[in-house]
Amino acid sequence: MSNRYTIHRRSLLGGGAALAAGAAFPAMAQDNKRIVIGTWGGDYSRLLAKNIETPLLAPKGWDVVKDEANDPPRRAKVLAERSLRRGTSDIQGVSAANMYEMNEQGTIEQLDYSKIPNSANLIPAMKYPYGVGHIFSGKVVLYNPKLMAAPAGFADTLDPKHGAKLGIIDIQYQYTMLAAGMASGGSVGNFEPGKERLIACKKAGARIYPSNEAFAQALKTEEIACGIMWKARAVQWQNAGINVSTVAPKEGVPMYVSGFVMPKNAPNKAGAYAYLDAMLAPSAQENFAIDMGYNPTVTNAKVAPELRERIGFTEEEQKRLVDLDYGYMAKNDSAFKEWWDKSFKG
């Protein structure tokens, strides 16, 4: 009787073990429900949470963890983890050019589209064997209508006549070289003719900014009057009150696709597929168009006509949309960057 409420040593140990075992199960279950996503910080990351993770993934019990950084360090991390059995991320957001490059490096998984039901409505051009296009926009000319007349295209913008009123973004070196190439008779597969044009612009005083945001700031303070950038960014900056208009260049509108890939050693591939599927849901795509000014990559997303007019391209402009030559860009990227650093900036 007196021992009735005494806890015995054995039963204590047994109970402890049972508790520990019980505690381990929910932890494992939680791990399976965790998706680690590598993405840019700032607006993109915030909008992924707002439009995809909170409304579509959280209700199904998915717990999304973000690894926020610019894409070069994230790509370097995936490359560094290549030999590991389990990597540290399930899905990575990169541009189409970088998706191509990562695939060449052999670090990313070939996708099984049957596991992404929403991909049935994906625009065919956005369906890469190794990645999914999430949003897209085009490289256009940006100018301040208060300070200058509308330029006709890339040649009219990347022109020494603008002197220090032309702004160039350092991290956009590939697309700047592409635009200069197209302006000087080159193509998506030949940037060489543009080099001379860029050097002439730099000699005439063109300003070089480290980031997209620094370029926006310079547009705002009227330090510069024109430059080239994604149309979606121009829409975002218009929303922020910056006096900027866009022109779809007559030489062609190079497409920019931002997408997602899955590292081969992703610890939670089911989670990665769930994410890829959720990001193609019409509601998520529609909200990205509203919040970020990018065009949906699925055909069943409904974008209001006036918004489509601002972010999209007219039928006539759509004919000028050009996809990039990712193979050419990947093969020559090191050489381009070296030229950009040494000859153009140096």
Partner 1 sequence: MTDTAIAHGPPAAVRRRGDGWTATALLTPATIFVAISLFAPLAILFRYSLNEFIPAKKLMVEALTLANYVKFFTDPYYTAILGTTVKIAVLVTLVCLVLGFPLAYVVARTQSRWKHLLIILIVLPLFVGNSVRAAGWMVVFGSKGFVNATLMGIGLIDRPLEIMFTENAVIIGIIAVNLPFMVLSLQSVIEGIDRAVEEAAFSLGAPPATMFRRVLWPLAMPGILAGTILTFILAMNAYATPFLLGGPLFKMMAPLVYNQFTQQTNWPFGGAIAFVLMAVTLALTLAANLILQRRARG
* Contacting positions for partner 1 (CB under 8 A): 70, 72-73, 75-76, 79, 101, 104-105, 170, 208-210, 221, 223, 330-335, 337, 341-342, 345-346
Q: Dihedral, CA atoms, 282, 288, 294, 299, nearest 10 degrees? A: 0
Distance CA 329, CA 327 (A): 5
The residue (of 3 and 83) whose beta carbon lies closer to partner 1 is 83
Q: Give the nearest distance from C-beta 210 to partner 1 in angstroms.
A: 5
Report in angstroms how near the CB of residue 24 gets to partner 1 at its nearest. 30
DSSP string, 12-78: HHHHHHHHHHHHHHHHHHHHHTEEEEEE-SHHHHHHHIIIIIIIIIGGGT-EEEEEE--HHHHHHHH
Beta bridge partner(s), residue 122: 298
The CB-of-243 to partner 1 minimum distance in angstroms stands at 16
CB 52 to partner 1: min, Å: 27
Q: How far is the CB of 228 from partner 1 (least distance, A)?
A: 16
- Indicate the residue among 71 and 159 with the shorter CB distance to partner 1: 71
Residue closer to partner 1, measured from CB, 166 or 253? 166
**Cα distance between residue 279 and residue 93, in whole Å:** 12
Give the nearer residue to partner 1 in terms of CB position, either 105 or 318: 105
DSSP one-letter string for 247-287: E--TT-EEEEEEEEE-BTT-S-HHHHHHHHHHHTSHHHHHH
| Cβ at position 36, least distance to partner 1 in Å | 20
* Beta strand 63-68 pairing with 34-39: parallel
Rank residues 6 and 221 by Cβ distance to partner 1 and give the closer one. 221
Considering the complex, state which of residue 42 and residue 117 has its C-beta at the smaller distance from partner 1. Answer: 42
